Amino acid sequence: MSRELFWLALSLGATALFAFPYVLNRIAVRGIGGMLANPSPNDTPLAAWAQRAQRAHANGIENLAVFAPAALAVHIIGRGDALTAGACAVYFFARTGHYVVYTAGVPGLRTLAFFGGWGATVVLVARLLGLA
The pTM (predicted TM-score) of the whole model is 0.94
Chosen CATH of 3-18+48-128 out of 2.60.40.10, 1.10.3720.10, 1.20.120.550, 1.10.287.70: 1.20.120.550
Q: How far apart are CA 116 and CA 94, in angstroms?
A: 6
Give the burial class of 108: count Cβ atoms within 10 A of its Cβ; 0-12 exposed, 13-18 middle, 19 or more buried. Answer: exposed
Nearest CA to 84 out of 70, 98, 102, 94 is that of 70
Q: In this predicted structure, what is the pLDDT of residue 132?
A: 87
Tell me the pLDDT tens digit for each residue of 71-129: 999 999 999 999 999 999 999 999 999 999 999 999 999 999 999 999 999 999 999 99
The answer for residues whose C-beta is within 8 angstroms of residue 85's C-beta and 6 or more apart is 2, 3, 4, 7
- Cα pseudo-dihedral 98, 61, 8, 113, rounded to 10: -20
d(CA 14, CA 91): 12
Q: pLDDT (tens digit, 9 = 90+) per residue, 10-43?
A: 999 999 999 999 999 999 999 999 889 998 899 9
By the 10 Å C-beta count (0-12 exposed, 13-18 middle, 19+ buried), 40 is classed as: exposed
Domain ranges of the chain: 3-18+48-128
Pick the more confident residue, 68 or 39.
68
